Structure 1
Amino acid sequence: MDKTIKTAFDGINEIYQVFIAGNFAANNGLTGQVSKQSRMLNSKMEDVVISCLVLSAEQIQDGIFNVNIHVPNLENLPSGIPNAVDNTQPNYDRLNELGRAAIELLDDSWLYNSHFYLERAGEIIPESKGHFFNIRIRYHALRQDRNN
Structure 2
Amino acid sequence: MKTTADQDGILYELISQSALKNLIRGGIYKGQRPLDSQTEDIVISSMLIGDGTLQKGVANVNVYIPKLYHNIGGKMQLIKDTARIAELLPVAGEILKEAYGKYYSLWTSRQGDFDEPDIKQTRLHFRIEFRLHNTI
User: Do the two structures share a fold, i.e. TM-score over 0.5?
Assistant: yes
Instruction: For residue 15 of structure 2, give the secondary structure of its aligned residue in structure 1.
Output: helix
Query: Does structure 2 retain, via aligned residues, the 8 Å contact 1:48–1:69?
Result: yes
Q: CA RMSD in A?
A: 1.6
Partner of 1:39: 33
Segments ≥4 residues shifted beyond 3 Å: 78-81
TM-score (norm 2): 0.91
Distance 2:20 2:80 in 1: 22
Partner residue of 1:61 out of 55, 58, 61 = 55
Partner of 2:114: 125
Is residue 81 of structure 2 the alignment partner of residue 87 of structure 1? no
Distance 2:31 2:114 in 1: 17
Aligned AA for 2:62? N
Partner residue of 1:137 out of 113, 128, 132 = 128
Partner residue of 1:109 out of 85, 89, 99 = 99
Q: Deviations over 1:112-139 (max 9, x none)?
A: 100101101x211111211111011111
Aligned AA for 2:79? Q
Partner of 1:7: 3
Distance 2:86 2:130 in 1: 23
The Cα of 1:50 is off from its aligned counterpart by 0.7
* Aligned sequence identity (%): 25
Distance 1:133 1:93 in 2: 14
Query: Does structure 2 retain, via aligned residues, the 8 Å contact 1:71–1:132?
Result: yes
- Runs of 5+ in structure 1 lacking a partner? none
Q: Deviations over 1:52-85 (max 9, x none)?
A: 111111221111111101000011116546xxxx
The Cα of 1:96 is off from its aligned counterpart by 2.8
**Structure with greater Cα Rg:** 1
Distance 2:86 2:4 in 1: 28
The Cα of 1:93 is off from its aligned counterpart by 2.1
TM-score (norm 1): 0.84
Instruction: For residue 2 of structure 2, give the secondary structure of its aligned residue in structure 1.
Output: coil
Aligned AA for 1:125? F
